[in-house]
């Protein structure tokens, strides 16, 4: 027998999981910083930015589901994408402010910053694709501009021999 969870209970459970996940992410970040793990394992920074982007996107989708009427897949994706981008850029500014990065390194600093923001956006996109409730990667005909719209060649794949 399967346990049925009511929508209100599901929202509460999702909120608890989000809170615990965010807390664990922050706790591991503090641990990794105190024990210089980011300096010993260069790839750990990438993983943390992926997980951070994933967490932020999941939080934004949870908020949108509870408080928004964005019905369009494209609008939901763009909202999540730009929110994750904003948080990623703010995080990079925070790292700069506390002196965690050295901009005097020139190109290496900017490549690292670009990589960090990109990893966050990738994590956010993965979260969106995982939890958005849709597996479609192409817009509907209406969202693609109707018949003959930009997505028409992909939506209407018939043999033309």
Give 132's contacts (C-beta < 8 A, 6+ positions apart): 61, 73, 76, 77
Domain residues for the domain of 31 are: 16-135
Evaluate if residue 10 carries a pLDDT over 90: no
Tally the domains of the chain.
1
CA angle 129–124–79, rounded 5-degree value: 85
Q: How confident is the model at residue 124 (pLDDT cuts 50, 70, 90)?
A: very high
Query: What would the mean pLDDT of 124-141 be, rounded to a whole number?
Result: 71
pLDDT digits 0-9 by tens, 81-111: 999 999 999 999 998 898 888 778 788 888 9
Specify the higher pLDDT residue, 117 or 149: 117
Average pLDDT for the chain: 81
Assess if residue 149 is contained within a domain: no
Evaluate if residue 137 carries a pLDDT over 50: no
Token pair belonging to 66: 């509870």
Closest by CA to 84, choosing from 134, 48, 122, is: 122
Say what the pLDDT of residue 3 is: 44
Q: Among the residues of the chain, which ranges form H helices?
A: 7-34, 37-40, 42-67, 73-97, 107-131, 152-155
Query: What would the mean pLDDT of 157-161 be, rounded to a whole number?
Result: 42
Evaluate if residue 152 carries a pLDDT over 50: no
Assess if residue 59 is contained within a domain: yes
Specify the higher pLDDT residue, 128 or 1: 128
Say what the pLDDT of residue 102 is: 78
What percentage of the chain has pLDDT greater than the value 70?
Answer: 76
Assess if residue 78 is contained within a domain: yes
Assess if residue 94 is contained within a domain: yes
Assess if residue 143 is contained within a domain: no
pLDDT digits 0-9 by tens, 40-70: 999 999 999 999 999 999 999 998 888 877 7
Assess if residue 120 is contained within a domain: yes
Query: What would the mean pLDDT of 106-126 be, rounded to a whole number?
Result: 93
Query: What would the mean pLDDT of 14-24 be, rounded to a whole number?
Result: 92
Assess if residue 159 is contained within a domain: no
From CA 50, how far away is CA 47, in angstroms rounded? 5
Assess if residue 147 is contained within a domain: no
């Amino acid at each position: 027998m399967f346990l049925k969870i009511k929508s209100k209970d599901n929202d509460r459970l999702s909120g608890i999981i989000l809170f615990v996940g965010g807390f664990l992410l922050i706790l591991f970040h503090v641990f990794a910083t105190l024990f210089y793990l980011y300096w010993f394992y260069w790839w750990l920074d990438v993983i943390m930015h992926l997980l951070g982007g994933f967490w932020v996107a999941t939080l934004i989708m949870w908020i949108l589901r509870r408080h928004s009427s964005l019905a369009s897949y494209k609008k939901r994706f763009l909202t999540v994408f730009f929110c994750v981008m904003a948080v990623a850029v703010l995080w990079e500014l925070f790292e700069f402010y506390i002196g965690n990065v050295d901009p005097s390194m020139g190109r290496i600093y900017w490549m690292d910053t670009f990589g960090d923001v990109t990893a966050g956006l990738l994590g956010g996109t993965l979260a969106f694709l995982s939890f958005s409730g849709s597996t479609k990667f192409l817009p509907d005909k209406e969202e693609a501009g109707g018949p003959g719209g930009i997505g028409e060649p992909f939506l209407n794949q018939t043999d033309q021999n």
